[in-house]
A and B are shown apart, each in its own frame.
Chain A
Amino acid sequence: MAARTLLFLALLAPVCLKAQPDTIPAADEEDYSQYDDLGFADDKAKRYAHPKVLDLSPQRFISVLWDAQGAYTMQSSPLGSWPEEADAPVAEGSRANYTGGLRVQANIPVVSRNSIVWQMQANYWDVRYDLSPTFITASSAGLHRILGDRGLRTTGLGTTVFKPLSETAFLILQASADLSGDYYLDDPQPLEYLRYNAAVVWGKRPHDRLQWGVGLSRTYRAGAINYIPVVMYNFTAANRKWGTEILFPARAHYRRTFSARSLLLTGYELEGQSYRIQGLSTDAYSFEVRRGELRLRAEYQRQLKGFIWMSVQAGYRHDWSFNADELPGGDEFFRGLFGDQPFAMLNSLGGAPYAQVGIHLVSP
Chain B
Amino acid sequence: MRTTLLFIALLLLPLTRAHAQAPPEPGDRLIGVWEPSHGKARVKIEKIGGKYYGKIVWLREPNDPATGTPKVDKNNPDESLRTVPLRGYRLLKDFIYSGNNEWAEGTIYDPENGSTYSCVIILKDDNTLDIRGFIGVKALGRTDVWKRLQAK
Contact with B along A1-35 (1 / 0, CB 8 A): 00000000011011011011111111010101011
B11 interface hit (Cβ, 8 Å) = no
CB-CB under 8 A from A48, the residues of chain B are 37
Question: Quick one: which of A54, A61, A113, A260 has the most chain B CB within 10 A?
Answer: A260
A108 interface hit (Cβ, 8 Å) = yes
B144 touches A114 (CB 8 A): yes
B19 touches A24 (CB 8 A): yes
Cα separation A40 to B126 with both chains bound (whole Å): 12
Q: A11-B126, A38-B149, A109-B139 are in contact. List 19 more A-B contacts (CB 8 A).
A: A10-B127, A16-B150, A16-B151, A19-B46, A20-B31, A20-B46, A21-B21, A22-B22, A32-B57, A34-B151, A35-B149, A38-B151, A40-B35, A54-B112, A108-B140, A113-B143, A239-B66, A307-B135, A363-B140
A192 interface hit (Cβ, 8 Å) = no
CB-CB under 8 A from A44, the residues of chain B are 147
Binding site for B on A (CB under 8 A): 10-11, 13-14, 16-17, 19-26, 28, 30, 32, 34-42, 44-45, 47-48, 50, 54, 61, 108-109, 112-115, 117, 238-239, 259-261, 307, 361, 363-364
B142 touches A109 (CB 8 A): yes
Cα separation A168 to B152 with both chains bound (whole Å): 27
Cα separation A112 to B149 with both chains bound (whole Å): 24
Given A19-B31, A239-B66, A40:B135 Cβ within 8 A: no
CB-CB under 8 A from B2, the residues of chain A are none
B35 touches A14 (CB 8 A): no
CB-CB under 8 A from B114, the residues of chain A are 260-261
CB-CB under 8 A from A260, the residues of chain B are 75, 112-114
Q: Which residue from A21, A23, A32 sits with its C-beta under 8 Å from B87?
A: A32
The 7 closest A-B pairs by CB, nearest first: A26-B18, A35-B58, A38-B149, A41-B127, A41-B148, A260-B75, A13-B150
B152 touches A39 (CB 8 A): yes
CB-CB under 8 A from B151, the residues of chain A are 16-17, 34, 37-38
Cα separation A47 to B60 with both chains bound (whole Å): 15
Q: Which residue from B113, B142, B147 sits with its C-beta under 8 Å from A112?
A: B142
CB-CB under 8 A from A364, the residues of chain B are 110, 113, 115
Minimum C-beta distance from B30 to chain A (A): 9
Minimum C-beta distance from B94 to chain A (A): 15
Q: Pick 30 A–B contacts, CB within 8 A, sort by A.
A: A10-B126, A11-B126, A13-B127, A14-B31, A14-B148, A17-B150, A19-B28, A23-B22, A24-B16, A24-B18, A25-B46, A26-B18, A35-B42, A35-B44, A35-B58, A38-B35, A38-B151, A39-B152, A40-B127, A40-B149, A40-B150, A47-B38, A50-B38, A112-B143, A114-B37, A115-B145, A260-B112, A261-B77, A307-B115, A361-B135
